[in-house]
Amino acid sequence: MVKLLLILALLHIASSEYIRVCYVTNWAHYRRGVGHYNIATNYEDKLCTHIIYAFAKVTSSGSILPYEAMDIPIGYKAVSAFKKRDPNLKTLLAVGGWTHRSVGFTDIVKTPESRLNFITKAISYLKEHDFNGLDLDWEYPAQRGSPPGDRHLFTLLCEELKREFSKHKLLVTAAVAAGVSSATTSYEIYEISKHLDFINLMSYDLHGSWESSTGHHTDASETRPTSQHSVYNSVNHWLSSGMDPSKLILGLASYGRGWSLRDGCREWDLGTRGKGGNTPGNSTMASGFLAYYEICDMKFQNRICTSSSSVNAPYGSDGNNFIGYEDEESIAYKIKNIMKKKNLGGFMFWSIDLDDFSNHCGTGKFPLIKAATAAVDQDVQPRACQDITHTGECPPPPTLPPSKCRVNPIGPWKGEFAEDEWCRNPGNCPDGPHCTHYKGCTSCMCECDDDVTGTSPPTKSTVSSKTSSTRSTKSSTMLSTLSSTSTTSTNSPVLPGTCTVPSDLQLRKSCYINPKGLWKGDAFDLWCKVNCATEITCHSDMCCCDSGN
């Protein structure tokens, strides 16, 4: 016992030199079953040095507002209470996020007056709710609805925030894009490095089911060409651009990204053609995504572990789904070979509620976060997984009926969903005799061909999808299909029998995500506005219509 206590004490001394950031999401308490996260009771004291509560809204008037009804009475109070048990803990409020896009941010950075107005209101809001700082999650300046000039205006915002926050002993940080091209577009890296207390590099979501072939979302290949996504390339780009390494925090993922496979028994490795996202987990309920506590339930037929993986992280298949993920071994690899060797300031997890917080997997609570902390000490070896190779015969390849559906070539979805694979999947696109509308709804997403080969011009019938884009993690490289909607011309012709984006958006202004449904808070409500029927009724547990507007 004495020896164990000594080891733990040494670990604490070593790890205390590094920042340990944990994001906690305000929608995790909506999850079912093992994924239901009680923000007040599921946290473990001294697990993190900084907790960042995600997310709050930024309005065009410069105000900060909560996203969820539980934020102020439950969420804010819970993270504040942690500090009473751990006086060294710092709590920050994250504003923005992937689904927030650039809404509000583009307005608050326009002028010195608008920036000062936001800063003044932010200081008041943070003090009122006992936060120690603000985390800017603008995804992203000069992108996704933000003009090019916002790149420099973001720098000014960081500089002015730091100047005013310092007077009140408040921290100011930012979550930033990891993709090299995205980071180059959005940030004056050297300048923001000077003004922010630290920067959380979102070095995950490097690949995902928005792509046609499988990849690993935390690819840690040291030999990847600089033109390709990898954690090494992301870190090297930020450092070579003038980033102070002691302020750069390495982002780690407590979730996996996956694909459904055409024939997962025979073809399942990296680079295999997928057919959309993996089967959703029972708790997270998002296609293409699984929490760590869901991944440990997978019955792998094939698996490659970190020690034998070209991406220095595990991945595998259960015969139907491919999943790339992190385990204790791959987390330790990134800490030792990237964070420590590059002299970075610490690590960050997205998110604490996606780790195994309840010991569902049987290896202890928060195994990934604790593996990162333990890896600070080179003598601590993580629990290693074992490669698995399928033995036995594979069933005959599945045969699906041909679909007449494909992406609408004149709609905002053109070029998305892996070369029309999403629309052609019979599970997503209804395929009746005349390509009838799904539940009476139309959309500009999928159209139907006259023949089953998909070679003839599309008819003027349209169909809508059965599934939705889901609320993402803070993706650093993903191009959202929703983003293309905003670039559609408002002068598109309206032809009889066709679906055009402007007319649909005008007709469907009253549609929004069902606030009582499982999709609450997802996809910025834009999906429903594009795909929801105009009747003032609920057509599913996803979308509802409002009589206003």
Catalytic positions are 139
285: left (phi over 0), alpha (psi -120 to 50) or beta: left
**CA distance linking residue 447 with residue 392, whole number of Å:** 41
Q: Helix, strand or coil for residue 162?
A: helix
Question: At what angle are helices 2-15 and 367-375 packed, to 10 degrees?
Answer: 80
Enumerate the β-bridge partners of residue 54.
Answer: 25, 94
- CB–CB of 502/485 below 8 Å? no
Interacting residues of 167 by C-beta distance below 8 A, sequence separation 6+? none
**CA distance linking residue 290 with residue 12, whole number of Å:** 30
- The whole-angstrom distance between residue 207's C-alpha and the CA centroid of its chain comes to 11
- Using alpha carbons only, give the angle 397, 399, 404 rounded to the nearest 5 degrees: 145
Structure tokens at 455: 């070679």
Burial class (CB in 10 A: 0-12, 13-18, 19+), 341: exposed
Q: Which of 267, 243, 133 is nearest to 190 (CA)?
A: 243
Q: Which of 85, 94, 97 is nearest to 131 (CA)?
A: 94
Q: CA neighbours within 13 Å on the CB side: how many for 253?
A: 29
Enumerate the β-bridge partners of residue 448.
Answer: 405
Q: Helix, strand or coil for residue 345?
A: coil
Is the bond preceding 351 in cis, omega lying within 30 degrees of 0? Answer: yes
- CB–CB of 235/342 below 8 Å? yes
Structure tokens at 311: 């991406």
Burial class (CB in 10 A: 0-12, 13-18, 19+), 5: exposed
